[in-house]
Amino acid sequence: MTYIVLVIFFLLLIIGIPISMVLGITTVIYFILNGQVTLLDSTPLRMYSGLENFGLLAIPLFMLMGEIMNEGGITTRLVQFARVLFGHFRGGLAYVTVIANMFLASILGSANAQAAMMSKVMVPQMEKEGYKREFAASITLASSIIAPIIPPSMIFIIYGTLSSTSVGALFMAGILPGIIYGLVFILVISYMGYKQQFPKSERASWADIRSKSLKVIPALLIPITIVVGILTGVFTATESAAIACLLAVIVGLFVYRELNIKKLPKMLINTVTNTATVTYLIIMANIFGWMIAFERIPQLLVENMLNITESPWVFLLLVNLALLLIGMILDGIAALIILVPVMMPLVIAFNIDPVHFGVIICINLTLGLLTPPVGTGLFIVSSMAKVKFETLVKSVFPFIVISFIVLLFLTYIPDLVLFVPRWLGM
């Protein structure tokens, strides 16, 4: 019966049924085929119990914060600040795209949202100044993967909830890897700029640099408050989201004076819609995980993996390769929700730090946004930037290779991930 259910699962995916529905339908079919119809009586309770976690409250709050900061002119100031500092270098706008993504990562925390926004902002501007549209689209897409790494990160919140790992420690663990990715992309752009003679903008005046620097301080206050507040224990990672929303409203209304209260209903609707999508997926994945536990798949997987290797290094290599393939066909959050309950017993068996593993799995699944055939980031940027899908795939391929190489370094040098949380005593 298990094989029949697996066939049904993949068939539903192939014909284009949304992954959340696939998880729910597959679970119900499994219970019926195995004669466990009585379990369906407990299914509604099981679905909603998956949302009874205080940490999940951070998801709608951080989404709302992103909406407020976009409407309040805060993201615009961050991009302008990056431009006056780095725009005059050869390939400067490409640097600005990467650095702006690093700033915005602390606001949006969603690679898809970031890729969509930056495609509208940076791609037309880069093409106007002489860059090829496909390159502009590829660097915008590639650098968007920084968003789920630098805190606050929705994908870290979900992983922390599923694995009972400190979200605060995950946030701190993402800082150094996010910076490393940004620096590596800048080095790649520097090499490409030298080879292809990228254009450069005029150097900004000291007066302009000083003006933009002063204007960006209130915008930077929000991510700084989140990090400092979590580190000092003033508030939790979840409570920091509410504080960030309040600060975003204050800055947008009274400092930049661009936040229009009339747009609040639209921002709330967007927040509710996006939150409902994620929470519905969590609900369905919870009953799917129940089915997996009923079949003892985690235990069988641990036994088989231990028969293959006793080395945590080999295990991590196999996990990276498997996740890279899984990320090509499944949405990152969906894959995370499905895989974490299955893999955590293996993480414990191989004595791997759950914070280190969380950063690895989250980065790996985020790379799926860049890879065909289901890479949602590819479809978003292709549509927004008006670049052919196959052209974008070819253009972004070097960044995918570089990203995976960096991931291997993060995998086998745990201190690159754990240095900051250990230094902070987390």
pLDDT in tens, 120-175: 667 777 777 777 888 888 888 888 777 778 877 778 888 888 888 888 888 889 88
| pLDDT for residue 2 | 65
* Count of beta carbons in the 10 Å neighbourhood of residue 61: 20
Of 368 and 185, which is predicted with more confidence?
185
Percent of the chain with pLDDT over 70: 81
* Count of beta carbons in the 10 Å neighbourhood of residue 390: 11
Under the banding of pLDDT at 50, 70 and 90, the label for residue 306 is: low
Cβ–Cβ under 8 Å, residues 53 and 317: no
Does residue 117 register a pLDDT over 70?
no
Of 68 and 306, which is predicted with more confidence?
68
Does residue 62 register a pLDDT over 80?
no
Cβ–Cβ under 8 Å, residues 148 and 156: yes
CA–CA separation, 87 vs 193, rounded Å?
13
Of 32 and 230, which is predicted with more confidence?
32
Under the banding of pLDDT at 50, 70 and 90, the label for residue 293 is: low
Does residue 298 register a pLDDT over 60?
no
pTM beyond 0.75, yes or no: no
For the chain, give the longest Cα–Cα distance: 75
Handedness of CA 206, 212, 214, 216 (dihedral sign): negative
| pLDDT for residue 355 | 93
Contacting residues for 284 by C-beta, under 8 A, at least 6 apart: 20, 21, 23, 24, 27, 47
pLDDT in tens, 234-248: 777 677 778 888 888
The two tokens of residue 127 are 């093409």
